Amino acid sequence: MESKAVQRLQFPAMVYSDKGGRTVPSGSLNVSCGFMEHKKLRVFVSVPSTKIQQRKLPLKIACSNNKVPASTLKSESFKTPLSEELILKSKSKEVEPYLSGRCIYLVGMMGSGKTTVGKILSQVLCYSFFDSDTLIEEEVDGTSVADIFKHYGETFFRDKETEVLRKLSMTHRHVISTGGGAVVRPINWKYMHKGVSIWLDVPVEALAQRITAVGTNSRPLLHSEVGDAYTKTFMRLSSLFEERSQAYANANAKVSLENIAAKLGQKDVSDLTPTAIAIEALEQILGFLKSEDGYC
């Protein structure tokens, strides 16, 4: 049943970039994830095999429930002599036995870094990565999210989003970056809570700065305000956050960038590396899974 669901979704193979920014599909594999057969799934790795041997790193593969209030656990400090990469790898090994192949759903406001952090988590856990918005676009013949909103309306988009999440909920070993508004429908939580859901909580000011820097053309919900780019983005994001904050709190755990920055002695959350955020996400996932199993 699961293999059929995946075939209908037509999941794309992922291609990652090397340090020089070049996309390098340097190999392909046939893999088996969880209870789902991927005999026809082509999987690309981002690091040539020679470099893997030299650096002795694990192969980076883009394989790609209980409902409790989201909470932030006291996690260990990242201030260690080890590099973030080694800490990330160590933490992933600690999480894997508890995770047991369950999918990870990243929720949060637009611009919160769900895609960036999700790709890091998928690599270190040897999970597949999928962006729900991208899957929706593929379901509508490659139409962009902005054009879907424009030509079909938000209700049509939300219906497609729910259908994509329903299909993903029948699979294993995926990290899924969800759209910012995926949390507003209770039925979506029914599907996401079959895995582990993590809320990336980023201050609205930081979100507005990020989105203003790259432009709002691809953000259909940010086109209604007047004023300069930053002000209208900030005002609209503030309104959306007020509407959705309680829904985000349905996540199994929360990753607060303000808390990470305070722990690391940094004043600006924008100075945090995606890897540091991914480490905290693994810490929160581990805390949730242990509490679920009655370990703490």
Instruction: Read off the pLDDT of residues 178-201 as tens digits, 9 standing for 90 and up.
Output: 999 999 999 999 999 999 999 999
The C-alpha atoms of residue 198 and residue 73 are separated, in whole angstroms, by 12
Q: Is 219 helix (H, G, I), strand (E, B) or coil?
A: coil
Q: Which of 173-182, 208-217, 226-235 has the highest mean pLDDT?
A: 173-182
Whether residue 45 lies inside any domain: the answer is no
Whether residue 74 lies inside any domain: the answer is no
Looking at the chain, the whole-number percentage of residues with pLDDT higher than 90 is 60
Whether the per-residue pLDDT at 85 is higher than 70: the answer is yes
Whether the per-residue pLDDT at 70 is higher than 60: the answer is no
CA nearest 211: which of 270, 258, 257, 155?
270
Number of folded domains that form the chain: 1
Whether residue 130 lies inside any domain: the answer is yes
CATH number for the domain including 152? 3.40.50.300
Range of the domain at 206: 81-293
Instruction: State mean pLDDT over 277-287.
Output: 97
CA nearest 214: which of 242, 237, 233?
233
Instruction: State mean pLDDT over 111-130.
Output: 97
Whether residue 3 lies inside any domain: the answer is no
CA 28 to chain centre: 23
What are 39-56's pLDDT values in tens digits?
333 333 333 333 333 333
3-state helix, strand, coil in the chain (%, to 5): 50, 15, 35
Average pLDDT score over the chain:
77
Structure tokens at 285: 């996932």
Whether residue 158 lies inside any domain: the answer is yes
The C-alpha atoms of residue 97 and residue 245 are separated, in whole angstroms, by 31
The C-alpha atoms of residue 125 and residue 91 are separated, in whole angstroms, by 10
Q: Are 42 and 61 in contact (CB under 8 A)?
A: no
Whether the per-residue pLDDT at 292 is higher than 60: the answer is yes
Q: Are 129 and 14 in contact (CB under 8 A)?
A: yes
The C-alpha atoms of residue 87 and residue 91 are separated, in whole angstroms, by 6
Whether residue 55 lies inside any domain: the answer is no
Looking at the chain, the whole-number percentage of residues with pLDDT higher than 70 is 67
What are 266-281's pLDDT values in tens digits?
999 999 999 999 999 9
Instruction: Write down the pLDDT at residue 282.
Output: 98
Between the CA of residue 286 and those of 72, 100, 155, 274, 283, what are the distances in Å?
12, 12, 35, 18, 5
Whether residue 195 lies inside any domain: the answer is yes
Whether residue 65 lies inside any domain: the answer is no
